[in-house]
Amino acid sequence: MICKKVIGKLCCHFASKSRCYGTRYSPAILYQNSERITDNYATSPSPIDGSSFNGYIPIKELKISCGTSSAPGGQNVNKRSTRVDVRFHLASAEWIPDKIKQQLIEDFAHRVTKDGFLCIRSERTRSQHLNLADCLDKLRYSIRQSEKKVNSGGLSDETLEQIKWRQINAARKRLEEKRWRSEKRRDPTS
């Protein structure tokens, strides 16, 4: 009886601090001395320096909508809204540097609407939460790829020359193999 009262008081105390459920199995009770339990879970990382993407995607700036998936799955697909569409206005996204925004528009023009919204859709799994995580991963990956293109600054003349010679040699080798195969068909005894 005394134990329940003490646990109840602890639960109320920690529940108000960490905004968790007030049970004896809550993270605040189980991990009382942990450094990960803080008063504010939704802290944003340090502000970006303006030249690179730090990986943080603010959920509040995204428009998340769910719908029924077109993938196979039987009754589950017909009854549950598992498809997730994530969209945000690219021009007003302050968490993406301007150079990367321009590259995103070039790379993913087929995903940008007339109004300037970048749309990402996922219906990979049968779970709405996993599809939302997949959308955020796709978005983060797209931004990282655009950032790589911006930071690479193009190919050097030396690299372009190497690529040109490799293409010429590959074409030459392909033609030699083609001639060899045609001769082999013409004279099967040799």
Residue 106 lies in a domain: yes
Residue 179 lies in a domain: no
Average pLDDT over residues 107-120: 93
- The domain spanning residue 144 has which CATH number? 3.30.160.20
Residue 114 lies in a domain: yes
More confident residue, 34 or 24: 24
| Domain count along the chain | 2
What pLDDT is recorded for position 159?
Answer: 86
Q: Does residue 104 sit in the same domain as residue 135?
A: yes
What pLDDT is recorded for position 48?
Answer: 53
**N-term to C-term CA, the chain:** 97
- The answer to pTM > 0.85 is no
- The single residue listed with the structure tokens 């997949």 is 134
The whole domain housing 85 covers 59-152
- pLDDT over 90, % of the chain: 38
Q: Does residue 72 sit in the same domain as residue 36?
A: no
* pLDDT, the chain, mean: 79
Q: Does residue 38 sit in the same domain as residue 63?
A: no
Q: Does residue 19 sit in the same domain as residue 104?
A: no
Tokens of 156: 């050097």
Tens of pLDDT along 48-72? 566 788 888 898 999 999 998 887 7
Nearest-angstrom CA–CA distance, 157 and 170: 20
Q: Which of 16-20, 153-157, 161-165 has the highest mean pLDDT?
A: 161-165
Nearest-angstrom CA–CA distance, 91 and 115: 10
Judge contact between 105 and 93, C-beta under 8 A: no
Q: Does residue 36 sit in the same domain as residue 111?
A: no
Angle made by CA atoms 6, 10, 12, in degrees to the nearest 5: 115
Q: Does residue 64 sit in the same domain as residue 129?
A: yes
- Taking Cα atoms as reference points, which of 131, 123, 119, 129 lies closest to residue 89? 119
Q: Does residue 66 sit in the same domain as residue 148?
A: yes
Residue 136 lies in a domain: yes
What pLDDT is recorded for position 122?
Answer: 92
What is the pLDDT confidence band of residue 44, given thresholds at 50, 70 and 90? low
What pLDDT is recorded for position 186?
Answer: 85
Q: Does residue 134 sit in the same domain as residue 64?
A: yes
Q: Does residue 32 sit in the same domain as residue 111?
A: no
Q: Does residue 115 sit in the same domain as residue 144?
A: yes
What pLDDT is recorded for position 45?
Answer: 58
